[in-house]
Structures are given as structure tokens and as C-alpha cells.
Amino acid sequence: MKKNVYLIILICGLMSISGYMPNQAVASGSYTARVYTDLLNVRSEPSLESTIVGALKNRELVTVSNDEHGWLRIKSDQLSGWVAGQYLKKVDGTVVTASATDQDSIVQKSSATTRATVLADSLRIRAGAGLSYKVLGGLTKGEAVTIMDNQEGWAKIQTADGQIGWVSDRYIVRGAKQTASASVSSGKSNGLKGKVIVIDPGHGGDDPGMIGMKHETIEKELNLTTSFYLEDELRNRGARVLMTRTKDEERPKLSDRVMISESAGADAFVSIHYNSSEKNTSGILTFFYSETKDQPLARAIENRLADGIGLKSNGISFGNLHVLRENDRVSTLVELGFLSNAKDESIVRGSSYQKKAAKAIAEGLEDYFSR
């Protein structure tokens, strides 16, 4: 009996020294991520040929513990396995767990202290998260609000005078309003700090865009995940970012994408796409419409993409495209690879490529505003 007691004490001591405790949090370096596609297959191994062990739904949270050639090892309450990394986005500032109770506290904690500025000339405050709810009041461009919660494209806000309600998050941008005196007094550009950048993930909803020839990669989904990486890059550099869509099922009209840019008084509009051709074409191409208004931005972004992100740059080109032609704001459209080219498709599917592309575009924007 004594031997058993001593053995138990010894095991407990070793567990304490080693730091191991059963059923505890996952390894350091792990993080929480959210699914951004309607249905995401979970596989037994990081390969398309491996067995499907289950599926994750859009907006579901998982814990990511490993990255291997664009595949991410995940764990949820029900499943564990490997998924294509392009369909996940890291949730910043969260603890490393995917339990339901922690998910709720994460959202509320992160959003409770977030400040935002109204970008639309007139923005209605509603009683709930949807157009069917009663209008409680309104906001005007430049007013500051506090974001308390987020729900499917709507933000619960509190105004300066204490009114609480819901507004469309398309027409607000997170971050404090920049004062004119701050930039003037410095006598020089602050790069992206305070700049309003509109990111336009191309296609969406029932318009998938291009479909990959080898892996059947869906362009609209790549556009969205790449745009989220770009959003993170820009926010980290001090920009105020607005997205023309944030969900896979959304498909804003081309005119609406332009309207968002113009209503926000955007300093720059960047549309994200992936390309296709009947020829075996490869690489990146950046479009502009106006030589005086748009070409300098296209050139600045192309210069950074040409530094080397995994695919060659084909330079810049004139594009008679609605989101550029009808846009009064400085704008460009970037095609980040050809889904009709098997090699390109294999490369662009990886999260590492998309992150490099996002960083290069952000650096190009920074160069443009620092001229």
C-alpha cells in the first residue's frame, strides 16, 4: 500500500516538474481561426487524396495547431484533422481554444472597446441587426461610435450621447478619426496611418468567378481569404479599412462596390481577383483605368509584387473595368495568378502565398502614400 502511495506522489511530482497536465490547453503557437466558406472538408491527412473525416460550417471556430504546405491541422468540439488553409482566417486577440463559451467571451471582449468612425454621409441606427428593424436615429459622416458586438454584417454600437443600436458595418471603419492637424503639423506623410482603404473581394454569392483547372479552386473564396489577409496587413499599418463584402454568400453589384468607395471618401480602392486564360498564361497582372489618377497606385503595388512572392509579375495594364472606370477614387484591380494554370493554382491556394501577396500590396500602398 505504501509503495502505491509513493508511486502516485512520484508521478504527480514529475507531472508538476514537466508542466504536463491532462486535458489542458493546446500547445503554444496555436491559435483560433474562423471558417470562411459554406462547407469545409476536414481530412485525415494534409492531402486532397486523404479520407474526409467530417466538415466544418461557415463562421465556425476551430483551434489551429500546425501548418504544412497550405494545409492547417485543426480541432473543434467535434472534429480534428486537416483543412485547406485558404478557407480559414485567424481571429486576432483570442485565447487558444475553440469551446463555445470562450468563443462568446472572445467576441464580446474584443469588440467592447473598439472605436469606429462613420464613413457614409448618412447612416441609420436600427433596433436590431437587419433592415426590417425599426429606425432609432441616424449618424453622419465622421461621427465616432463604440462597437459593442458584431452579427452577420451588422455592428451593435453606442453613440457619443449614449444611444445604443445596430448599423451596417459596411459604412463604419474601425479606428479613431484622424485629425487634419496631425498630418499637417508633421510636415510629411504618415504612410498608411489614417488612410481609408476599400478592399473589394471580387465576385461572391452565386458568382464564383474562375474555377481552377486542377483542384477546382473557387476564385470568389480565394478573393475573400486574400482580402482578409490584406485587411489585417493594412490595419496593422494604421489604415482604416472597409470591405465591399465580408461573406462568401454576398454578391454586391459592381455599382454598389463603387458606391462604397465613393461614399467612404476612400484614399484608395483595391479589387482582389485571380485570373484565367485559354492559353497557358502564368503570373500576376495589375490594372488601372486612369493614367493620371490610378496608374501611379497600380505601379507602386506592381513594383512590390514584382519583388517576388512566388509568381512572376506581368506588369501593369489598362483595364476598362466598371469598378475602376466608374470610380472617382484612386483605384486598381490586381489579378494574383491564373487558376487556369495548374502550377499557378497550386501556388495561390496556399495561405503562405496569399499572405505574401497581401503584404506586398500593403507595402505598395504604403509606398504610394509616402511619395
Contacts (Cβ under 8 Å, ≥6 apart) of 130: 154, 166
pLDDT (0 to 100) of residue 31: 85
Q: What are phi and psi of 198, to 5 degrees?
A: -100, 125
Across the strands, what pairs with 324?
none
- pTM value surpassing 0.75: no
pLDDT (0 to 100) of residue 163: 84
pLDDT (0 to 100) of residue 366: 94
195 closest CA partner among 139, 169, 230, 234: 234
Contacts (Cβ under 8 Å, ≥6 apart) of 134: 126, 127
3-state secondary structure of 229: helix
Q: Locate 72 and state its grid cell.
A: 492547417
pLDDT tens profile 222-240: 999 999 999 999 999 999 8
Q: Locate 92 and state its grid cell.
A: 486576432
Burial class (CB in 10 A: 0-12, 13-18, 19+), 284: buried
Per-residue pLDDT of the chain (371 residues; tens, 9 = 90+): 555 545 554 445 444 444 433 333 334 468 888 887 767 788 888 777 677 788 887 778 889 888 776 778 898 887 889 888 777 777 754 333 333 333 333 333 333 347 778 876 678 888 888 877 888 888 887 788 888 887 767 888 888 777 888 888 777 776 544 433 333 333 345 689 889 999 999 999 889 989 988 889 899 999 999 999 999 999 999 998 999 998 888 889 999 999 889 888 899 999 999 999 888 899 999 999 999 999 999 999 999 999 889 999 999 999 999 999 999 999 999 999 999 999 999 999 999 999 999 999 999 999 999 87
Contact 32, 55 (CB under 8 A): no
Contacts (Cβ under 8 Å, ≥6 apart) of 204: 220, 223, 224, 245, 247, 248, 249, 250, 251, 252
Contact 288, 295 (CB under 8 A): yes
Burial class (CB in 10 A: 0-12, 13-18, 19+), 207: exposed
3-state secondary structure of 251: coil
3-state secondary structure of 362: helix
pLDDT tens profile 110-157: 333 477 788 766 788 888 888 778 888 888 877 888 888 877 678 888
The one-letter amino acid at 306? A
